[in-house]
Amino acid sequence: MWQTVVGDANFYELLYRMDEEIAAKARQGGCGHCGGRLDSARYRRKPRGASLDLGPAYERRLSFCCDGCRRRTTPPSLRYLGRRVYLGAAVVLAAALRQGVTPVRASKLRELFGVDHRTLVRWRRWWLESFVRTRLWRAARGDFAVPVEEGLLPASLLERFVGPPRDALVVTLRFLAALSTTS
């Protein structure tokens, strides 16, 4: 079921368009420090975790630089989760699918996302230890009608967003977008 989502070029195009919309709003708001105009200052990314070629759109992170104070403004992103080299979708899905990992499932994850077992362990630890301490999670965890079981993150978070797998993943990435930037 998730394989069809991560193997769909239209899914990644949708995430890129959503990132462009978020970036356009950030640019219209101007610099948060001095109010100056924001100029494009995209920076290179070498994203991992996609089983298909995403093209040049995924080689650059949408970001801006103020023409006055020169400070960088990087808007939230649905494609990237912070400074991780793996795409946000890969971090969410691989960690969710890793629960109850078997050798067969581990090899399937390696095939789908190109993720090493040690990386999966590190992501799992991040979800269970670091993510639950973020301001985002502490503020939002009580907003769910059915509580999210923290021991089963991120799978339990994905389950709270209803709809087809693609939609649930997009909503989850939108929820996590605040973690994708320090701006």
- Cis geometry, peptide bond prior to residue 164 (ω within 30 degrees of 0): no
pLDDT computed for residue 1 by the predictor: 65
If we measure between CA atoms, which residue out of 77, 74, 111 comes closest to residue 94? 111
| Site of tokens 């977008």 | 177
Residue 86, amino acid: Y
pLDDT computed for residue 100 by the predictor: 59
Q: Across the 183 residues of the chain, what is the mean pLDDT of every consecutive 10-residue run?
A: 83 97 97 96 93 91 96 96 92 82 74 85 92 97 94 93 92 96 80
Q: Quick count: other Cβ atoms within 10 Å of Cβ 112?
A: 19
Query: What residues does each domain of the chain span?
Result: 7-180
Residue 47, amino acid: P
pLDDT computed for residue 101 by the predictor: 59
pLDDT computed for residue 55 by the predictor: 92
pLDDT computed for residue 115 by the predictor: 86
- Count H helices and E strands in the chain, helices first: 8, 5
pLDDT computed for residue 2 by the predictor: 72
- In sign, the C-alpha dihedral spanning 85, 163, 9, 27 is negative
3-state secondary structure 25-90: HHHHHCCCCCCCCEEECCEECCCECCCCCCCHHHHEECCEEECCCCCEECCCCCCECCCCCEEHHH
Q: Quick count: other Cβ atoms within 10 Å of Cβ 19?
A: 23
